[in-house]
Structure 1
Amino acid sequence: MAIIFSILFLLAIVSFFIFRKKPLAETPELLPANYKDLLAENVAYYQKLDQTGQASFETMVQEFLKAVRIEGVGTEITDMDRTLIASSAVIPIFGFKEWRYKNLTNVILYPDTFNGEFQFEGESRNIMGMVGSGYMNGQMLLSREALIRGFSKSSGKENAAIHEFVHLLDKADGSTDGVPEQLMTHDYALPWLKMMHKEMHHIETGKSDINPYALTNEAEFLAVAAEYFFEKPDRLQDKHPDLYQRLSEMFAQKLVISS
């Protein structure tokens, strides 16, 4: 019976992704009336910007919410959810004001972590987010619990939502391989690969504080390193100055201001 239920649940999710009735253009995401307050209270990246930077950030949040639908599975979407998801999207592209996520139409929010069959109850739920492919192309799935934790003061150097949006940037050139060709010239690709593999070796031998999940493959290394870059840039620059410099160039953002 449990197997039958799992199959029916999976089919329902697949149908949800494929057969939605409402076109994207007819259902723009509502901009929370208090989104500026939510940004000021919950998004450390926004708090560190000057007045001009905050105005640009707000505009980019608005543009994202006009272009991408945010839907809940087993949960209602709140103003906080909308604001944090949009912030997660804006942070990696803040150095590219005209960038649009052309490979994203929907963000699907689950109340908690989920498994490979998209179930958010029971055991073996360890997925905090994923970028869809195949029949789920254009979709991003996120765990609300991971989303909120990524913007909490105790998040450390991890932010699952930023992680997934970096995957989208990586995927923009057609391949999720850790080399975002839209963000770097061809000449930088080989040095970047060499740097990744060198740092992955340091992680493997216990000589790095970067999350070991980065060892999964080059794409995960990029996303994990980007989390560190955006969440704890000072620490990254101190412990991994070359990596910080490369990511600063890649994302066109100088997050550590020299005194």
Structure 2
Amino acid sequence: MFKRWLTRTPSSPPFRAWQQACRRTPILAALTPVESERLGERAWHFLTSKRLTLHAELADVPFNEVDRLALAGQACLLTLGWREAEHREAFANVHEIVILPDSFTREFEEVDEFGVVHEVTDERAGETSYQGPVVIAYTDFMESGDFIGFNVLIHELAHKIDMGNSMDIDGFPPLPRTLSAKRWHAVFSEVWEDLQRCLEQGIAPPIDDYAASHPGECFAVCCEYFFTAPDQLDEAYPALYALLVGYFDQAPLVRLDPA
């Protein structure tokens, strides 16, 4: 049903393939030469240490070395600003990435405010769990990589980072010493409350309203915007953008094309 790759390769990425992966992926192409070289090394190590599994229905879909590097580069972009040890620790619970042909559904029970249990069917572009694989849809992955506020891989890897200090997705990942838990909670609480206010008043939120569904989803969606629509995030929630600059030790606003 699935085709698996376990890569055994030299320690350095193939330069030409990495350059091609960057050229076709705008959020990678916008990096400085120093950033690109550092990310390329990490992306290559990511590929050599993680399992990449492609669904059998995608057997005829080209997914070569350039594709795999583009995938790994987007995953490792999250931790580009962190030290090597921090980067590896952040993805220690990432063992496998599974690529399905298209979005998929999950059925679960949900209890409303009155205690009534409802059967819910949810359509997803990706999912993950504490020690489980990162599952993404091929169609959504192919739509990722540009400055459009959407990136299924960044979203799911943000969940993995979130679970670095617990088995649950709660929007409260391990924090560096430079960031206090009090400040993190205060900034995200303001964003959460504003999103809820927008929905209650029938106003379109300034970011994807999926962020208002759960604190863990709020963190993951905000990570997507931080890396792929930093201007929108900064305009809507400047305090949150500044908080994530300190957290990720990156400033994606400078990567946007001035034009």
Whether TM exceeds 0.5 here: the answer is yes
* Deviation readout 1:14-46 (Å, 9 max, x if unpaired): xx8xxx9x9x9xx33666674323323222222
Which position in structure 2 is the counterpart of 1:115? 105
Query: For residues 125 and 201 of structure 1, do their structure 2 counterparts lie closer, same or farther at Cα, with a shift above 3 Å needed?
Result: closer
**Are 1:48 and 2:40 an aligned pair?**
no
Matched ranges for 1:64-213 at <5 A: 64-74=46-56, 75-76=58-59, 77-98=63-84, 99-100=87-88, 101-116=91-106, 126-133=123-130, 137-152=131-146, 156-174=148-166, 175-183=168-176, 184-204=179-199, 205=201, 206=203, 208-213=205-210
Query: For residues 113 and 160 of structure 1, do their structure 2 counterparts lie closer, same or farther at Cα, with a shift above 3 Å needed?
Result: same
Which of the two has greater helix per residue? 1
Query: For residues 140 and 167 of structure 1, do their structure 2 counterparts lie closer, same or farther at Cα, with a shift above 3 Å needed?
Result: same
Which position in structure 1 is the counterpart of 2:43? 61
Structure 1 unmatched runs, 5+: 1-12, 118-123
Q: TM-score, normalised by structure 1?
A: 0.77
Letter in 2 for 1:230: F
Which position in structure 2 is the counterpart of 1:227? 224
Question: SS state of the match for residue 124, structure 2?
Answer: coil
What is the CA–CA distance in structure 1 between the aligned matches of 2:183 and 2:8, rounded to whole Å? 37
* Deviation readout 1:200-225 (Å, 9 max, x if unpaired): 23442326321011111000011111
What is the CA–CA distance in structure 1 between the aligned matches of 2:66 and 2:137, rounded to whole Å? 14
Which position in structure 1 is the counterpart of 2:110? none
Shift in Å at residue 163 of structure 1? 0.5
Which position in structure 1 is the counterpart of 2:236? 239
Shift in Å at residue 69 of structure 1? 0.9
What is the CA–CA distance in structure 1 between the aligned matches of 2:148 and 2:218, rounded to whole Å? 17
Greater relative contact order structure (CA < 8 Å, 6+ sep) = 2
Equivalent pair of 1:32/1:79 in contact (CA under 8 Å): no
Which of the two has greater strand per residue? 2
Aligned-CA RMSD value? 2.9
Question: SS state of the match for residue 115, structure 1?
Answer: strand
Structure 2 unmatched runs, 5+: 108-120
Identity %: 21
